[in-house]
Structure 1
Amino acid sequence: MAEAVLCDGLDPDDPDAVTLVVVVAEQADHQERAVARLGAYGYEGEDCLYLVRTDGWAERRLDGELLTVDIVAYPALLKRLEEDAERFPERSSADPAALRLLRVEARVDPAAYARAPEVTLVLTAPAGSPAEEAVALVRSGEDRPLVVAPRPE
């Protein structure tokens, strides 16, 4: 099951920075699998991959302590992932042409969330693994996150 967590220590330039991380399992349901495969279409950065904002983005909302994160993409990207767009009936709240691939909810400290940058990191872990294991692999440099920005303006 996908998880959203706030983590510190992921930015080597600012180890006290708080980052929002979504952890998915590539062997899970079609929603998590699709998000896990987005990295194949990201472009390489320094120790990370970036999802092009014209392909997809993260939509985030905080209501009290409840954080909702939607990972969305356009049908053209789903076609490249060899995913059937009809399996993703929900639409982006910002652009009805984009499809919601995954929704994750988590209880967070609003003050900590306010310190997080607008980008969301997506990590992939084996099914049943705790999110902390995936985060530890990124911290150690053994894995690279996919950086998903907010919707383009």
Structure 2
Amino acid sequence: MAELVLCTGLDPDDPDSVTPVVIVAEGRAAEEDAVARLGLYGYEGDGCLYFVQTDGWAERRLEGGLLTVDIVAYPVVLKGLDDAAADRFPERSAADPEALRLLRVSAQVSPGTYARATDITAVLTAPAGMPAEQAVAEARSGGSLPLILAPRPE
């Protein structure tokens, strides 16, 4: 099952910043597979993969201490992903009904810590069963490239 954690120190230029990180595992669920494969469309730079905002984004909301992140993309993006047909994702983006919600993940967080969060959301793909902390540690050491999702374009 996908996990959501808040991590500090992922941005070497701003070590005090907080980044929401979604950890997915390929082969567990269609939702996680689709999000993991979004990296195929990312462009590499600065030790990560950037996903173009016009293709998809991360929608976040904090209610009390519950942070919810929705990863959304337009149906055309899914055409190039194996086993990720748009009809498998009936839920829509809260911001744009044309975009499909691929994954929703929630976690209890400290509102004070979340207040320091950057606008980006990172996605890490890890083997099934790998603890979130280990996946983040591997990304910090350069073992895997995180996929960076921005908020919805204005």
Q: 1:35-62: CA deviations, max 9, x gaps?
A: 0000010111110000000110000000
The 2-side partners of 1:144 and 1:102 are apart by 20
Q: 1:11-35: CA deviations, max 9, x gaps?
A: 1122222111000001210000000
Spell out the pairing of 1:98-113 with structure 2 (5 A cutoff).
Answer: 98-113=99-114
Spell out the pairing of 1:51-66 with structure 2 (5 A cutoff).
Answer: 51-66=51-66
Tell me the CA shift for residue 146 of structure 1.
Answer: 0.4
AA aligned to 1:84 is A
TM superposition outliers: structure 1 runs of 4+ over 4 Å: none
Tell me the CA shift for residue 133 of structure 1.
Answer: 1.1
The 2-side partners of 1:89 and 1:77 are apart by 15
SS at match of 2:153: coil
Q: Which residue of 1 aligns with 2:43?
A: 43
The 2-side partners of 1:64 and 1:116 are apart by 16
Question: Quick check: 141-150 or 99-108, which moved more?
Answer: 141-150
Q: 1:69-104: CA deviations, max 9, x gaps?
A: 000000000111131110000000000000000000
The 2-side partners of 1:80 and 1:114 are apart by 36
Structure 1, gaps ≥5 residues long: none
Percent of residue pairs bearing the same amino acid type: 71
Q: Which residue of 2 aligns with 1:127?
A: 128
- CA RMSD in angstroms, aligned pairs only: 0.8
Tell me the CA shift for residue 137 of structure 1.
Answer: 0.8
Q: Which residue of 1 aligns with 2:72?
A: 72
Pairs aligned (count): 153
Q: Which residue of 1 aligns with 2:9?
A: 9
The 1-side partners of 2:115 and 2:97 are apart by 27
